[in-house]
Structure 1
Amino acid sequence: MTEPGVNLRMGTAAGRGTLAAAVLASGMVFLDSTVVNVALPRLGAELGATVSGLQWTINGYLLMLAAFVLLGGALGDRFGRRRIFLLGVVWFTVASVLCGLAQDTSWLVAARFLQGAGGALLTPGSLSVLQASFHPDDRGRAIGAWAGLSGVSTALGPFVGGWLIDALSWRWIFFLNLPLAALVVVAALRWAPESRDEDVSRTRGPGREHRRFDVLGALLGALALAGVTYALIDAPARGFASGPVLVAVSVGVAAAVLFVLVERRRGDTAMLPTGLFSSQLFSVLNLFTVLVYAALGGFTFFFAVYLQNVVGWSALLTGVALLPMTALLLVGSPRAGALSARIGPRLPLTVGPVVAALGLLLLRQVGPGASYWWDVLPGVALFGVGLTLVVAPLTASVLAAVADRFAGVASGFNNAASRAGGLLAVAALPLLVGLSGTGYEQRAELTSAYRGALLWCAALLLAGAAMAVLLIRRPPREAPPAQPCPTLPASTPTRRDG
């Protein structure tokens, strides 16, 4: 339920201003999601970072998003979507400035944790403001415009970021958020209406449902992911049998068990109602999501560092190398969603990972002196085509696998699953391929690790394809073609998270 009179139209100044605020805010998050990988070699060299420092630069951000994005959506419903959205924008921007001012790796990682927390408020808020503010006749157009325009920022992110890194410094990929945030705040305060879900604040009584924030569930989920991630990242330096690693594993596993118990006890009021997993299709699709996005996260982590430190490309050219993948997603995902609606998700979710895996196997052969057109573009294009076949069918199938009243939490959990997949891949792959310390600066060591990592990523994709063949069937009810998440390559379905 929203406040009366919140029915913006696309052709009005208020409608355009609200849409602009949502698009610019999302653009900040998507820009940082795509360009930080490109900046890793430069910031690593300047700050004297080890491989674990680079891993935490990515994973600190992903951890907070994966753990708290559902809670961020719930806070908006309760306290006001515009209010929490603006809080997220300011929080994210202050953290961005702290990232840009970082003098060492510890400072940068701490700021990235804060940035992820701001993103957890901002990401669901940007879409929920549109969902709640626009007239039903214009809502689809507004969300479609948000997806398309935000997707453009995703596509331009590596190009703009690469140029900033080469021309100025890696610090400017974070400072760029300052002017963008100023425009967002002005536009949102001027035009975006406030809205909230009045049902959230109902108390017990006849015909009323008591609802509360599942803060404990969010904290336990974050602790579970943090424990496992810390153990995977720290094990190469300390050893698997070291005290800190064993403690981290124990804490992570215990928190995961408690998370399940707490969520089961709270039923439908939980952050993640465990009843959703009574749907085998929902469970399988989310495991599939973890596999595919683990491959995506691992690939993008290694690829940008390898192109700069081994192939010898600039940050700008490295950013440009990833453009075809995003362009294919933007252009092809609506068509893939329509195809899936006609024939079911099984075939696209089987063929897509196989095609993407073939692209990674081609990219394993890239070496010093590589040609963009002959050596890099074919593999990137195949990988992009494969992802295009996956993203929209996967989003639509996840939403179709649960009852309509759980669409928001199902979308939010799938968002968290995709981020968790990337987080775990970035934590585990350097360990699996023997890359640690400052090995990313040594050509021979990085080359061996890169090729091993892409082989692991291809295997994850093929495991997802096998799962699709064996376990995925057409959902019991038809789902409309879903827009792709414009956070790709960071992943988020375009339904309101939370």
Structure 2
Amino acid sequence: MTSSRTKWLGLVVISLAVSLIIVDSTIVNVAIPSIVDELAITSTQVQWVQESYTLVFAALLLMFGTLADRFGRRRMLLIGVVIFALSSVLAAAARSGDLLIGSRVLQGVGGAMILPSTLSVINATFRGRDRAIAFAVWGSTIGGMAAVGPVLGGWLTTYFSWRWAFGINVPLGVVIVVGVLFFVLESREPGARGLDLVGAVLSIVASGTLVFGLIEGRTYGWWLADTVPDIGSWSWPFDLSPIPIVFLIAALALIGFVLWGIRRERAGRPTMLAFGLFTIPSFRNGNIAALIVSLGEYGVILSLPLWLQNVLGYDALQTGYVILALAIGSFVASGFAGSFGNRISPVWIVRMGILAEMVGVAAVGLVIAPDTQWWSIAIGLFVYGFGIGLATAQLTGVVLKDVPVEQSGQGSGTQSTARQVGSALGIAILGTVLFTSVGASLETRLADNDTIPDAVKTQIVDAVVDSAGNAIPGLDNRSAEVAAEARAAFSDGTRYSAFAAACFLALGLLATLRLDGRRQEYEGEHAAEPAGTDAVR
């Protein structure tokens, strides 16, 4: 067993590693308008810049959680940080949207190695009240860093280049690698079994095709083909859009994943998902709640920076300052949770947090308009951040509190996957809501303008949507009236996206009603170490 000092220093390093991947998932948001301008990427590519990272992250979490248990959690953490740092170099040097998206895919691989490893290390290293504190630090890091990212990204983009939003990961990665080597102990499960490769493939296919369909549906058509996809000289030969077929593949892959996993588990063979853990009520219900909540939790962070910069005219740094209110709210919440966490049931803290998130994001939606003042947005974001700070750490603790330590890798991987799948679906759904609403609203607003030919109206709508709003400032040189309509339409889309996020959070709040709200006593400070955990330098 590690010394107390080394254990807590290791937690600091683990928090830095979590910060690395969480900051990167949000730091890009405020840089997107600059990326669109320099690389000329479309609104669909804007979604993929975010989604490629989140999707790969979600698809590989289970596999790497299992591998970490078998081959060593510290080892997996180190490999993940190195891959993440190297792929950040590729992202910073990208000269096209496709190369940037490819680099984000590699970052997702590194991130998927890092996150479950950090949770498994905490679960295997800390006991009793120390574990509760460690989880609180871990969760507060996620909540706080989700908002620090936009501020850091805004500063780097405004005074240097959006490329430094990725380049900053390299020195941070070096610090983390050194810290892990000195202060984080290796832990593994000597009896950990092999890897379920078929299950891994089915999970990747299911999540990948589902998110692809949600993002590309507005491009190719939800039922009939609006745009014919082609690969080289081959073109889609049917009137039916490929999207329904993609959704069918996703459904079949998901069913196959579940049936395959249950069959292997009954035969005593290793599975990607520990289906037996779902017999634990706290684990089962907590994961359902985590997935639904994550659908709406970060949706506003996708659309808000685009709206602040393209409609209100803020630069990247000013945008980061506005979103900083979210980080302040999360920081305040961590103090609240620390003061009342031993007197109030964790489930009730989760419910309070989700309710605050729902109120905050709905408040943001209510005040969004082309002439909105920054402080009215900041108030809603503060409440929203306060909710994230309350809910994130406590929900993690609720999900994992009854999971045996020898299954901590699969348990933490499952709950992380639930969150990331929810986030991926949220980005896909809320991004589609945003851009579809912007297009429909602008078409309606321009319909009665007889001075603009229909063909030109279509060009204007396509330019605003495809550029993710970056074309709006340029419309001022063409027509102040058209620019005003475009700003109003983008405000409409951002508002609808915020309200959709609030609806998902409301569903998540309902899902927590199946969680046990009774206050649990923590295990003793000197509880015995779990059997089978090999902790070594």
Q: TM-score range by the shorter chain?
A: 0.7 to 0.9
Counterpart residue number, 2:452: none
Counterpart residue number, 1:473: 516
User: Does the 8 A contact of 1:397 with 1:479 survive in 2?
Assistant: no
1:416-448 superposed Cα distances (whole Å, 9 cap, x missing partner):
111111111211223335155335334343222
Counterpart residue number, 2:174: 182
Classify 1:473/1:16 alpha carbon distance in 2 versus 1 (closer, same or farther; 3 Å): closer
Report how many aligned residue pairs link the two structures: 460
Is 1:222 matched with 2:204? Answer: yes
Counterpart residue number, 1:368: 370
1: CA distance between counterparts of 2:289 and 2:140? 25
Counterpart residue number, 2:497: 453
- Aligned counterpart for 2:251 among listed residues 247, 250, 253: 253
> Which stretch shifts more, 421-430 or 52-61?
421-430
Is 1:54 matched with 2:30? Answer: no
Identity level (%):
33
> Which stretch shifts more, 212-221 or 158-167?
212-221
TM-superposed CA distance for 1:151, in Å, is: 6.7
| Structure 2 residues without counterparts, runs of 5 or longer | 226-240, 439-464, 473-486, 524-537
User: Does the 8 A contact of 2:116 with 2:412 survive in 1?
Assistant: no
2: CA distance between counterparts of 1:93 and 1:39? 19
Report the 3-state secondary structure (helix = DSSP H, G, I; strand = E; otherwise coil) of the residue aligned with 1:440: coil
Counterpart residue number, 1:397: 398
Classify 1:388/1:47 alpha carbon distance in 2 versus 1 (closer, same or farther; 3 Å): same
TM-superposed CA distance for 1:178, in Å, is: 1.5
TM alignment of 1:109-148, pairs within 5 A: 109-129=101-121
1: CA distance between counterparts of 2:160 and 2:207? 35
Counterpart residue number, 2:533: none
Counterpart residue number, 1:34: 26
1:463-492 superposed Cα distances (whole Å, 9 cap, x missing partner):
2233444x34326x82649xxxxxxxxxxx
Classify 1:432/1:156 alpha carbon distance in 2 versus 1 (closer, same or farther; 3 Å): closer
Q: Which amino acid aligns with 2:325?
A: P
1: CA distance between counterparts of 2:125 and 2:387? 35
User: Does the 8 A contact of 2:13 with 2:176 survive in 1?
Assistant: yes
TM alignment of 1:228-377, pairs within 5 A: 228-241=210-223, 242=225, 243-267=241-265, 269-333=270-334, 335-336=336-337, 339=340, 342-344=343-345, 347-364=348-365, 365-373=367-375, 375-377=376-378
User: Does the 8 A contact of 1:8 with 1:133 survive in 2?
Assistant: no
2: CA distance between counterparts of 1:67 and 1:173? 24
User: Does the 8 A contact of 2:63 with 2:200 survive in 1?
Assistant: yes
2: CA distance between counterparts of 1:381 and 1:319? 14
Classify 1:247/1:261 alpha carbon distance in 2 versus 1 (closer, same or farther; 3 Å): same
Q: Which amino acid aligns with 1:291?
A: I
2: CA distance between counterparts of 1:479 and 1:338? 16
User: Does the 8 A contact of 1:297 with 1:423 survive in 2?
Assistant: no
User: Does the 8 A contact of 1:325 with 1:380 survive in 2?
Assistant: yes
Q: Which amino acid aligns with 2:494?
A: Y
User: Does the 8 A contact of 1:286 with 1:417 survive in 2?
Assistant: yes
2: CA distance between counterparts of 1:450 and 1:429? 9
TM-superposed CA distance for 1:349, in Å, is: 4.3
User: Does the 8 A contact of 1:18 with 1:130 survive in 2?
Assistant: no
Classify 1:224/1:479 alpha carbon distance in 2 versus 1 (closer, same or farther; 3 Å): farther
Report the 3-state secondary structure (helix = DSSP H, G, I; strand = E; otherwise coil) of the residue aligned with 1:363: helix
User: Does the 8 A contact of 1:7 with 1:134 survive in 2?
Assistant: no
1: CA distance between counterparts of 2:128 and 2:342? 23
2: CA distance between counterparts of 1:460 and 1:139? 30
Counterpart residue number, 2:451: none
Q: Which amino acid aligns with 2:517?
A: R
User: Does the 8 A contact of 1:51 with 1:438 survive in 2?
Assistant: yes
Q: Which amino acid aligns with 1:254?
A: L
TM-superposed CA distance for 1:401, in Å, is: 5.8
Structure with bigger gyration radius: 2
